[in-house]
Amino acid sequence: MERLIVKGGTRLQGTIPVSGCKNAVLPIAVAAAILGDGVSVLHNVPNLTDVKTLSAVLEGLGATTKIKKSSLYIEPINHLEYEAPYELVRKMRASIYVLGPLVAKLGKAKVSFPGGCAIGPRPIDLHIRGLEHLGAEVTVESGYIYAQAKRLVGTEMYLMGPHGPSVGATANIMMAATLAEGTTVIRGAACEPHISDLARFLNAMGADIEGIGTSVLTIHGVKQLRGTEHTVISDDIEAGTFIVASAITRGDVYVKGITPQQIPAISEKLTEAGVELDWDDNGVRVTTPREIRGIDVTTEPFPGFPTDMQAQIMGLLCLASGTSIIMENVHTDRYIHAAELNRMGADIMLDGSKAVINGVGRLSGAPVMASDLRAGAVLVAVGMAAIGETIVSRVYHIDRGYESIEEKLNNVGANIKRVTDNGEET
């Protein structure tokens, strides 16, 4: 397995371009491949292993996909394959997105139950409940979900779970409802920017969705959806990660291709911590003139502070003056990176969903392990600020959600090498 060797003591300076949003392109590609009756073309598609894995799932269902630079051409499924197999679904939870669209389009679906991962059990009861509200018959047997319905019928539903709205369930049910008979109202819908981007794509295909960007989505079912062309929004979490990377190295970086509306809570909390964000029409200049102050952060569904930025801000707060408290309210087990940061000299104490971070003056490089894509990203960011060398293993986690992370960072002054297990530079 590949590793990243990160030299410490670097200060980032220059421009980092933000790529397309992973969590938007995944459901949009599913909609294009299953719900559409014609070819769709997606632009600003990031070069990620998750995109490759999803393309394999869609090809397995009979769609044809072709990537050219950052454009993804998708020809919808043309035969009745309706099974998403375990060996692909286990690699990526987002494969569950095919469930609703397959039932809406083909009347049936057989999808492997997605596994849990390092950040918690990742249940899908809301996905199943939403489909049952639409009239589907859903059973779970030997690790597979079986769903079928002659025709889905629109209805009103409340889709909030114990930790708030569900991004995945909102995407799944919204996609399924586009071809249902009658009108569906989803109350407690997720409002993340990538859900709004998916809704806009579906409307461009001919769907009729109202309430985009709010927690009440109204979907008037239509008979057919056509192929269309769409430019995927930029990735708010990748942008937030690079903003933290600049701040943690006390750099001066222009993060290009993000708007303040996409990252309201990230901007707010980083400013509170002492990071300076100077916005213009194309992005934001990040400087850290003063020392970082300890702050309190609670992760919440959008527009709250995103859970996918929790590891990154924890890394920054390890070097703050004073104490910070993080409450992780979205995922039940998303602190594995804390132990890795403590290996580098951080002072983090965990107590259930609470993390107490006592800022320390400096961190030292060490061999550490990525446990999920955001945990991996923070280890790289902290490694750049630490003294000495940090070796980050299990880099495949990072590649799932970050397009050539070391290339983008080396272009602004980092010193990161990707090596194979036996130490050869790739």
- Nearer Cβ to ligand EPZ (10/65): 65
312 binds ligand EPZ (CB under 6 A): no
Chain position whose Cβ is nearest to ligand EPZ: 168
107 binds ligand EPZ (CB under 6 A): no
20 binds ligand EPZ (CB under 6 A): no
How many positions of this chain bind ligand EPZ (CB under 6 A)? 26
Shortest Cβ distance from residue 224 to ligand EPZ (Å)? 27
- Nearer Cβ to ligand EPZ (29/126): 126
- Nearer Cβ to ligand EPZ (147/363): 147
Query: And the tokens for 356?
Result: 């107490």
Token match 């990525």: residue?
370
- Nearer Cβ to ligand EPZ (95/184): 95
Shortest Cβ distance from residue 128 to ligand EPZ (Å)? 7
The span of 162-170, 249-257, 377-385, 407-415 binding ligand EPZ (CB under 6 A) equals: 162-170
401 binds ligand EPZ (CB under 6 A): yes
The span of 80-88, 144-152, 160-168, 179-187 binding ligand EPZ (CB under 6 A) equals: 160-168
Token match 């639409």: residue?
134
Among 32, 89, 102, 126, binds ligand EPZ (CB under 6 A): 126
CA atoms of 31 and 29, how far apart (whole Å): 5
Among 52, 108, 122, 151, binds ligand EPZ (CB under 6 A): 122
166 binds ligand EPZ (CB under 6 A): yes
Sign for the CA dihedral angle at 302, 307, 311, 314 comes to positive
The span of 31-39, 120-128, 207-215, 225-233 binding ligand EPZ (CB under 6 A) equals: 120-128
The span of 1-9, 99-107, 116-124, 149-157 binding ligand EPZ (CB under 6 A) equals: 116-124
Query: And the tokens for 227?
Result: 């192929």
| 214: nearest Cα among 177, 194, 188, 183 | 188
127 binds ligand EPZ (CB under 6 A): yes
**75-94 residues near ligand EPZ, rule: CB under 6 A:** 93-94
330 binds ligand EPZ (CB under 6 A): yes
Among 124, 244, 275, 381, binds ligand EPZ (CB under 6 A): 124
Among 23, 262, 288, 390, binds ligand EPZ (CB under 6 A): 23
373 binds ligand EPZ (CB under 6 A): yes
Sign for the CA dihedral angle at 278, 279, 282, 286 comes to positive
Shortest Cβ distance from residue 421 to ligand EPZ (Å)? 25
252 binds ligand EPZ (CB under 6 A): no
CA atoms of 14 and 172, how far apart (whole Å): 39
308 binds ligand EPZ (CB under 6 A): yes
Is 191 known to be catalytic? no
Among 52, 108, 163, 250, binds ligand EPZ (CB under 6 A): 163
The count of other CB atoms within 10 Å of the CB of residue 262 is 22
The span of 75-83, 135-143, 155-163, 382-390 binding ligand EPZ (CB under 6 A) equals: 155-163
Query: How far, rounded to the nearest angstrom, does the alpha carbon of residue 19 sit from its chain's CA centroid?
Result: 12
168 binds ligand EPZ (CB under 6 A): yes
Residue 201 contacts by C-beta under 8 Å, 6 or more apart in sequence? Answer: 28, 31, 32, 228, 230
Residues labelled as active-site residues:
117
Q: Which residues bind ligand EPZ (CB under 6 A)?
A: 23, 26, 93-94, 120, 122-127, 161-163, 166-169, 190, 307-308, 330-331, 373-374, 401
